[in-house]
Each structure stands twice: as structure tokens, then as C-alpha cells.
Amino acid sequence: MSEQKQYIKIVLKNFMFRELKNDGFKTLFKNAVIRTYKLGDVIIKEGDSGDRFSMIVDGSVTVSTLKDGIPTELAHLKVGAIIGEVAALTGAKRTATITASEDSKIIFFHKDALIELTKRYDSLKERFQNVIEARAEQTINKLINEDD
């Protein structure tokens, strides 16, 4: 199996996209691009605008935010994790910095695809909203507990 097909398979197996039909996958993959990052490369920078969301298809990343000007690690994400969805869905600035924890490959999807799909699939919109809420709660808890 080619590397690209292997990455597409990872996306198709993700629970977020389990109900998409062929036209939904075509929408998702329209303008999608796979990028390679080396250990320590910044993939997404906190505060930047974002017109794409992405999924880790190889490697892993570290999610961090600035707290009192100091980088604070929030999470370590692996293959299959979705990143950048908050900015893509809400139009808000990037809420965290994403850095490659090892050599990694990330597939980027345009936010217009996500917005279109969440209009067509109510349950997809609900799942993304749940992920956004859970990540916000985890971030708050992590930042509060670091003070202890």
C-alpha cells in the first residue's frame, strides 16, 4: 500500500468521519495536502489565523500555550489526532502552538470543507463541538493544576 493510501486510511478510520459517504470524503480531501515536519518544527503557532485543520498521520506532536509568557505543555498527540479545528470552525486565532515531537506527517484540510461537512452532517458538527469543549476543559484544568 502506498504511503498516501495508508494516510488516507487513517483519516477514514477516525471516529469523527465515520459516517461520511463518498461525496463527503471527496469534499474533505478536496485541496488536502500532506506536509512533513522534523523534530522541533512548529506546525501551528498560537495567535495565528487558521484556514485549515489537520490530522496527524505519522509521528506525534506537542500542544503548548503561553502562560505568563512561559510555554506550558497541554498535551501530547499521536497518529489520528485532529488539530487546528477550533480556529477552522470558529474563525478564532490559533489557541495553542503545535510542535513536532518527532519526525511527523500531517494532512491539512481546508476549513471550507469542514464547514460544508458540518452543515451536511449534524452529528459531525456535534462531535467537533464536543472535542472543542473537552479540549477547552482539559486546557483549563491543566493550567489551573500547574499552579498547585
How much is the mean pLDDT over the chain?
86
Instruction: Look at residues 79, 84, 82, 83 and name the one whose alpha carbon lies nearest to residue 104.
Output: 79
Rounded CA separation 50/123 (Å): 23
- Residue with cell string 501551528: 44
User: What's the number of domains the chain is made of?
Assistant: 1
Q: What is the pLDDT of residues 19-42, one digit of tens each?
A: 888 888 889 888 899 999 999 999
Which run of H or of E encompasses 33? strand 33-37
The confidence score (pLDDT) of residue 146 equals 62
CATH number at residue 129: 2.60.120.10
| Number of residues assigned to the chain | 148
Note down the domain range covering 120.
3-146
- DSSP 8-state symbol, 128: H
